[in-house]
Amino acid sequence: MIRKIYRTVFSEKIRLQFHIILMKLKALFLRGNRYFCPCCGKGSSKFLRKGNGLDYRENAVCPNCGSLERTRLLYLYLKNETEIFNGSSRILHFAPEHILKKKLIKNPNYKDVDINPNFATLKMDITDIQFPDNYFDYIICSHVLGHIPNERKALNELFRVLKSDGNLFILSLLDPTMHETLEDPDAITPLQKLHKYGERDLERLYGADFSERISTSEIRIEKIDYRINFTEQERQKMSLGDGKREIIYKVVKTSQHCFHLF
């Protein structure tokens, strides 16, 4: 009841601001050095927990910048293995993570977009990307694709606007023990999706077939578990996850031709 009133009285944009303020207040009481966030460079006695209503991940959220396990690992990969933070490459960033946006927005050719205008500078549908063909050097699409009903159209649009030899980075919740992606047409309500896929608004749960699912002769796919570049002690200190949400799929477009994957 209280939550319903809160959502009615305050707009989503104001609620987001409240959330950030509350998180920063929590950070004041969590000063320490047991955990370290590579995104903001700050230490904490602990990170905040993150849950979906069924289970919780301890020490998932940096209280200083809000980064999650996948955000920290992606940042380390991008910083160490790409030139995305250097120069003026054209970058398209879907559902931008606050701390990554803060670092990338210095680039005048950086575009952050989301279907919800409260979460990004530009409102845009991933199945109808309003940019020319072969336009972007880098595209970041983290934990977006699994939420899109028309996955095929979204992939076609991503490949269309990506330059030849450009890099598309896709991350999503997946279960590596499943040989095939799980899609249940009977999972309709948020509660049904939560129990079936692990999140209330997922349309599917990807399995070990993800690379095959998006494969075509005109792209090259590399599956990257960047956690293996760090010791167990480093992975724990930075809380880099268990691999279910942090695997990076690097997709390189090898042709300038626009094509349809499906």
pLDDT for position 237: 98
Return the percentage of the chain with pLDDT > 90, whole number.
80
pLDDT at 28 over 90: no
pLDDT at 145 over 50: yes
pLDDT grade, residue 218 (50/70/90)? confident
pLDDT grade, residue 105 (50/70/90)? very high
Per-residue model confidence as pLDDT tens digits over 157-201: 999 999 999 999 999 999 999 999 999 999 999 999 999 999 999
CA distance 105 to 112: 8
- Structural contact between residues 38 and 77, judged by C-beta atoms closer than 8 angstroms: no
pLDDT grade, residue 30 (50/70/90)? confident
- The more confidently predicted of residues 17 and 56 is 56
Q: What is the mean pLDDT of residues 139-167?
A: 97
Domain boundary assignment for the chain? 64-229+237-253
- The more confidently predicted of residues 14 and 132 is 132
Q: What is the mean pLDDT of residues 111-133?
A: 97
CA distance 187 to 189: 6
What's the distance, Cα to Cα, between the start and end of the chain in Å? 45
Question: Where does the chain have alpha helices with state H?
Answer: 2-9, 12-28, 69-81, 98-104, 151-161, 190-197, 210-214, 232-238
CATH number of 64-229+237-253: 3.40.50.150
Q: What is the mean pLDDT of residues 13-27?
A: 66
